[in-house]
Chains A and B, each alone.
Chain A
Amino acid sequence: MCIFKSFKVYTINLESRYLLIQGVPAVGAMKELVARFALYGAIEQYNALDEYPAEDFTEVYLIKFMNLQSARTAKRKMDEQSFFGGLLHVCYAPEFETVEETRKKLQERKAYIARTTKNKDHYMTQKKLVTEHKNTKNFRQDFHSETSGFCAAAVNTSTGNSDPCFPYSCELPLCYFSSKCTCSSGEHVDRASNSSQDGRNHDETGEHCNHKDSLQKMQIKTLKNSVACPGAQKAITPSEAVDRFMPRTTQLQERKRRRQDDRKLGTFFETSTSSNEVVIGPLLPDIPKVDMHDDSLNTTADLIRKKLKEVISSVPEPPEDKLEDMHTSHSVKQRRRI
């Protein structure tokens, strides 16, 4: 039977750029505290709240982040973390907002939703273009078969889904399906698939479940975190997948074209061997020849250069059918693929 009576619904009203941090050991570690929180984003201001009720030997701080996203992440990461021997309790503090700050917060939320919905429409258009350009190159097909789950999903759904946290949709804990659920996996969505993690959360928060303190409510926050990490693309969406490959093809072709141009030009390259070399893969930049203005130094430099070339082109000769260009029939030095 589910023993957790307090659940929480996160709305934009609850969230805030202001974070309240309780349980900070009174050891004069304000700077360290702020530095720790600053890992999650720029902090606009911070101060101790001397009048705020605090347990003995602890202090309460208020930290205001520059943006809501940083505050969200900081709260998620720093809540229940140990600090100088104490356990921090971090929560949002929207009551410290000014009217203007609240107004902006609501507007940004609205804008975010409008943007996300628009992106989904855009994503759908992109996806259609991409599937039309599908070619038959092996490596592309391989990639597509890997992501076929996502591709199929993208093709089958009527509206696109640009949610970056696709994997989590399949990793939500089974326990949700029963009324016996006791987990708070929402707070740790990136470990949501780990049932032992859920079990651990259960144990941790089990002590708190009867706590009347409203600040220690168990929180169920599910895929909200996908909102929380817009930049952290944890799954490759089909459009991204193809985008990644398209430039590469172009580059190979570009290099091929360049090599052909270079071969036509011929003598622009310093060593005699280079004109007979068949190049496979990306060209290393040619070592610029420097005249040392001294014969012995030049000899040494040439020796070194030659050695470098040998080392670089130490690839065994590949089968003939894989060579892109064959000007000469005698053995050619291959450049190693990078």
Chain B
Amino acid sequence: MAQKPKVDPHVGRLGYLQALVTEFQETESEDAKEQVLANLANFAYDPSNYQYLRQLQVLDLFLDSLSEENETLVEFAIGGLCNLCSDKANKEHILQTGGVPLIINCLSSPNEETVLSAVTTIMYLSSPGSGSHPELTAMPVVQCMLRFSLSANTRLRNLAQIFLEDFCSPSQVAEARSWRAHSALGIPLPKTEAPQQP
């Protein structure tokens, strides 16, 4: 791409991101969608892009993609959220637009990266100690993290342990532990109703 002199680099980047978003919305190819989403998620790693991403509503795009059936899209979307959610403004947006339940849902994914990104996102959205958003440390979540903390997967184990130590109170953890003693193993993370058989 030829460098145009005098072109406002901000317009350049914004235009580029806009093109990505447009392609994502218009294309019918799943592969193209995956590729674009991966691009956007990687852009979300760089804080200098956040103003553009917010402007282009990419955060909402990520959140919407969490409901996609294509697991790859979910993985990339939650990865993108994980990358940008520790920024204050982005965090506010996610919390205010009801993104938390969608993110918690990702904990049930069979995809390892999705789960890891979801755990990290939940941690970045929480403030240590007092619950900034009680959903983030609700009983089902804490139970899930307890399960993860026993996982053979080192990365998952580490993250879950950090969550339990830094973002949950001891009483919450104790309660979750006593709950587990009475509940059957292998039940997927309940949504809001009574646990269903997988």
Contacts and interface: CB of A to CB of B under 8 A. Distances in A.
Interface stretch (B26-34, B138-146, B179-187): B26-34
A103 B13 CA distance: 33
Given A113-B86, A170-B9, A106 B162 contact: yes
B123 A13 contact: no
Interface stretch (B36-44, B170-178, B189-197): B36-44
Interface stretch (B74-82, B92-100, B102-110): B74-82
Interface residues of B, number: 58
B116 A13 contact: yes
Given A11-B120, A12-B120, A179 B35 contact: yes
A152 B8 contact: yes
Contact of B162 (A95, A103, A117): A103
Interface string B8-24: 11111100100110010
A7 B120 contact: no
Given A176-B20, A177-B19, A179-B23, A227 B46 contact: yes
Interface residues of A, number: 62
A2 B155 contact: no
Nearest to A158: B51
Interface string B114-133: 00110010011000000000
A116 B117 contact: no
Contacts of B38: 7-9, 220
Contacts of A2: 29, 31-32, 35
A99 B161 CA distance: 7
A161 B8 CA distance: 12
A170 B1 contact: yes
Contacts of B153: 95
A116 B48 contact: yes
A169 B12 contact: yes
Interface string A133-172: 0000000000000001110110011110111001101111
A111 B83 CA distance: 13
A221 interface: yes
A109 B46 contact: no
Contacts of A11: 45, 79, 82-83, 113, 116-117, 120
Interface of B: 1, 3-13, 16, 19-20, 23, 27, 29, 31-32, 34-35, 38-39, 41-43, 45-51, 75-76, 79-80, 82-83, 86-89, 113, 116-117, 120, 123-124, 153-155, 158-159, 161-162, 166
